[in-house]
A and B are shown apart, each in its own frame.
Chain A
C-alpha cells in the first residue's frame, strides 16, 4: 500500500480529486456498458413474449369463432 491512511489515499497529495473523479466516471461507464444491454434485452424479451402470446390468442379466437 502506497498510502498510510484512508484520508491519505483520498487526498493523494493534492491529486486526489482528479484521480478519484476519473475512476468514478470509469465506474459509471463500466456499469453502464454491462447493465444497459441487459435491461434492453429484458425489455425486448418481455415485448416479444407479449407479441407472441397476443398473436396466438388471436389465432385461437379466430379458429374457435369460425
Chain B
C-alpha cells in the first residue's frame, strides 16, 4: 500500500503509467461517447410527457454528476497536498479545477436550454440551479486563487483550503431537490431504488454516465501529463524523454 502511494507521488512513474492508460482509455471513451449520444438522440423512445426535449438528459445528468464527482477528486487531492505535501496531489487539484468547471458549465447550460421547453424559462433562482452555480464559482475560485499568487506553493495551499471549504456545497446540491420546493425534478437514479425511468431510456443514460467518467479521467490525465512536464522541465528524466523521442512524439 505505502509503496503504491509512494509510486503515485513519483512524476516519472505517473507520467509513464498515465500514458499507458490513455492509449486504451482514450479510444474507449470516444467510442462510448459516440455510442451513447447516438443511442440517446436517435434510438431511445420519446418521453410521453416531455417529448423529445428529454433527450437533453443524456448530456445534462452525466455532466452534472461528473461536476460533483470532479469536485470530490479536487477536494481530496487538495487535502492530500495540504497534509502530505504530495506534489502529484497538488498537480491533480490544479488540473481538476478547469475540467470540473467545464462539466459544471455544460450541466448548467444544458439545464437552461432544457428548462425553456419544459419550465417555460431558461433560468430560475431555484435551490438546485443556484447551488450548481455556486459550484461553478467554486471551481473558478480555486483556479483564480491558484493563479493569484506569484509563489506557486502559497497559491496551491490557498486553493486547497478553498476546495475543502467548498465541499459543504456538495450535500446541499444533492439534497436541494428534497429540502426545498423546486421546479427541478427529483433524481432519476438512486442507489436505493429502481430508476424512475423506463429501461430503454435508462440504458443509454447509464452508458453516457460511464462515458463521461472516462472522459473526465482522460482529460485529467492528459492535463496532468503536461503539468508534470512543465514542473519537472529541468530534471534528468524529462531531458532524456525529450531528447530520446523528439518534441513531436508522445
Residues of A within 8 A of B (CB): 1-3, 9, 12-16, 18-19, 21-23, 25-26, 29-30, 32-34, 37-38, 40-42, 44-49, 51-52
Contacts and interface: CB of A to CB of B under 8 A. Distances in A.
Interface stretch (B149-157, B166-174, B214-222): B214-222
A23 B41 contact: yes
A18 B116 contact: yes
Interface stretch (B3-11, B53-61, B177-185, B190-198): B53-61
Contact of A22 (B60, B99, B223): B60
Nearest to B245: A45
A22 B219 contact: no
Contacts of A9: 41-42
A3 B42 contact: yes
B53 A15 contact: yes
B223 A21 contact: no
Contact of B247 (A29, A37, A49): A49
B188 interface: no
Contacts of A40: 223, 226
Q: Chain A contact residues: over half helix, strand or loop, or mixed?
A: helix
B113 interface: yes
Interface of B: 26, 33, 37, 41-46, 51-53, 55-56, 59-60, 63, 99, 102-103, 105-106, 109-110, 113-114, 116-117, 215, 218-219, 222-223, 225-226, 229-230, 233, 238-239, 242-243, 247-248, 250
A39 B26 CA distance: 16
A34 B26 contact: yes
Nearest to B37: A23
A2 B44 contact: yes
B226 A25 contact: no
B51 A42 contact: no
B158 to A, nearest CB: 23
Contact of B215 (A3, A23, A33): A33
Contacts of A46: 247
